[in-house]
Amino acid sequence: MLKYIRLGFMLFVLPVSVSAQHAMDSVLSQIEINNTTLSALRKSVEAEKIGNKTGIYLQNPEVGFNYLWGNPSAIGNRTDINIKQTFDFPTAYKYKNQISDIRNLQTDLEYQQQRKAILYSARILYTDYAFANILGKEYENRISRAQLIADSYKVKFEKGESGILEYNKTVLHLSTLSRELEVLRISQNTYQQQLEALNGGKAVVIYEEESPARLIPADFQQWYEVMVQSNPDLLWLKQEIESSRQQENLNRALSLPKASAGYMSEKIVGEHFQGMMVGISVPLWENKNKVKYAQAQTSALLGIETDQKLQFYNQLKAQYDKAASLQEVVLLYKNDLKTADNSVLLKKALDMGEISLIEYLMELSLTYTATDNLLRTENELNKTIDYLMQFEF
């Protein structure tokens, strides 16, 4: 159902290829399979589920044997045998089983909590990797442009048409861009290694040069209603409330009389007695206040649930509003760069001697700064939407 809702009311789409999203999904799928933490948790879940099914059955039967020597010896010896089974009130076993089922469901949700956190970390790393890659491509173009300028001024310097100061400026400009690209590649390699660590140490191959498509829900309230039903933290809390309610019922059942039944045999010289035995235990004090305690726990959990839903709503709304605002900034940046990019004109003006080298570099730096700001804002937008998208899995 979520997939159809998502297709139905997602509004803003960054103009990137669908294959980039597929590549990201492929990496996330690999990490989900290979992540060692998740692998260990899956085994832990199975063990925990077995543990949750213990202690919900009948108590152990009791078997007793007595051998008594008579005094005086003429009266002979006495042998007693008794077998007894104690039963809680019948409904107690039903509630124990229901609580066990709830605990197993919570165990699955705890796994989903960890899964969500790990995949969200992977999303952010992938997004940062893609950003470093995109910015790296931009710097490669800048370096190519700077290399042409440096080569040109080298020729001019050798011919005596330009001074050493201007030539050194072109070399310094080229060197600065090259060092910045090296730093980007170091960051990109770090992101790659961190992704591989999440992937259980196995290689992660990222072919796409673009960032995956990011979608913003057009109707926040409708989207939130879907997300609140799929948030493992809230679902776990909901089950905890249900468990507390069942614990109330269980405590009431345990406050009802317990029954016991069994067989007893008694032998003495010349006589043998045997038959059934029954008993009842009236819990007058043992379970006092347990029902009240469970009710108080349920009430407290309901308050926590209300608070958690409110916090979840506010967190999502804040990130949603941030994403919408960043989307507008990105579009404005793109429009401004489209209409005000003077890099081609600046190169022509420099070649024709209409502007000096320092003027060319200063003017070009304005375009570079705007482009960097666009890419960084776009990356921040992508990571904000990553935060929203983590609850869709």
Give the model confidence (pLDDT) of 10-43 as tens digits. 444 444 444 566 778 889 999 999 999 999 999 9
Between 61 and 353, the more confident residue is 61
- Name which of 376, 351, 346 is nearest 362 in CA terms: 346
- Other Cβ atoms within 10 Å of 47 Cβ, number: 10
- The 8 Å CB, 24+ separation contacts for 67-74 are 70/268, 70/269
Instruction: Indicate the length of the chain as a whole number.
Output: 393
Give the model confidence (pLDDT) of 216-254 as tens digits. 878 899 999 989 988 999 999 999 999 999 988 888 888
Q: Which two tokens stand for residue 365?
A: 């730096």
- For residue 262, the model assigns a pLDDT of 85
Residue 195 confidence (pLDDT) above 90: yes
Give the model confidence (pLDDT) of 103-128 as tens digits. 999 999 999 999 999 999 999 999 99
- For residue 380, the model assigns a pLDDT of 94
Separation between Cα atoms, residue 313 and residue 211, nearest integer Å: 27
Residue 5 confidence (pLDDT) above 70: no
| pTM of the predicted model over 0.85 | no
**Number of structural domains the chain divides into:** 1
- For residue 372, the model assigns a pLDDT of 92
- Name which of 380, 382, 330 is nearest 215 in CA terms: 382
Q: Residue 103 contacts by C-beta under 8 Å, 6 or more apart in sequence?
A: 48, 52, 243
Domain that holds residue 384: 2-392
The rounded percent of the chain whose pLDDT value lies above 70 is 92
- Name which of 332, 318, 340, 341 is nearest 388 in CA terms: 318
CATH number at residue 289: 1.20.1600.10
